[in-house]
Amino acid sequence: MVHYIGVILDESRLAKIKGTPLEEKIQDLFGGQLKMLVVEVPEEKSQEILKAFDRARIDSRGFIEDLPVAFKRALFEEIAKAKSLDVIDKVLERLPEIQEAAKKESEYIPPPEIE
């Protein structure tokens, strides 16, 4: 079964893919208040991801959730670099580095700068 990973696009991420073919693939959620790219993940690769991150799980919509922020960040970097959603292999090549970064974020994530 194919699973999915949603990549949320905030202002800065939207700017980084402006004018690329990715713009056409942006999905609107919640009446357009949230923009997202959806990456398809084949079964064997989603198993690999679930094995690498023990908190990750597949939710009722078939999305892989509770992934480390480092994973999501790397996924977007690869998408922006390749201007394509077909990047899951590239991300998996970076697994050791992502796992290392994920370890740090299990105890600390810097809070956002809002008042």
Partner 1 sequence: MAKLNMPPPHGGELVYRVIEKREYAESMAAGAIEFDLKATTDPNGVPIRHVYREIISVCYGFFSPVEGSMTQNELERVLEERRLENGWVFPYPILLDVSDDDLKALDVKEGDRLLLKLKGQPFAVMDVEEIYKIDPKDVATRTFGTPEKNPEVVRQPFDEKHPGWMIYRCMNPNVIAGKWTIINPPKFREPYDRFWLPPAECRAVIKHVKKWRTCIAHQTRNVPHTGHEMLMKCAAYTGDIEPCHGILVNAIIGAKRKGDYPNEAILEGHEAVNKYGYIKPSRHMVTFTLWDMRYGNPIESLLHGIIRQNMGCTHHMFGRDHAAVGEYYDKYATQILWSEGIPSFGFEAPPNEVDKGLKIIPQNMAEFWYCPVCGEIAYSENCGHVKQKQKFSGSFLRGMVAEGVMPPKVVMRPEVYKAIVKWWKVFGYPFVNNKYLENLNKELEIDLAPMEIPKA
What are the residues binding partner 1 (CB under 8 A)? 6, 8, 10, 28-31, 33-34, 55, 57, 59-61, 63, 65-67, 69, 72-73, 105-112, 114
Taking the C-alpha atoms of residue 89 and residue 4, their distance in angstroms, rounded to an integer, is 14
Taking the C-alpha atoms of residue 105 and residue 99, their distance in angstroms, rounded to an integer, is 10
Rounded to a whole number of angstroms, the minimum distance from the CB of residue 61 to partner 1 is 6
Rounded to a whole number of angstroms, the minimum distance from the CB of residue 34 to partner 1 is 5
Query: Do residues 4 and 43 touch, judged by C-beta distance below 8 A?
Result: no
Taking the C-alpha atoms of residue 48 and residue 32, their distance in angstroms, rounded to an integer, is 32
Rounded to a whole number of angstroms, the minimum distance from the CB of residue 107 to partner 1 is 5
Q: Which is nearer to partner 1, 89 or 107 (CB)?
A: 107
Q: Coil, strand, or helix at residue 11? A: helix
Q: Which is nearer to partner 1, 71 or 88 (CB)?
A: 71
Q: Which is nearer to partner 1, 48 or 65 (CB)?
A: 65
Taking the C-alpha atoms of residue 38 and residue 20, their distance in angstroms, rounded to an integer, is 16
Q: Which is nearer to partner 1, 51 or 61 (CB)?
A: 61
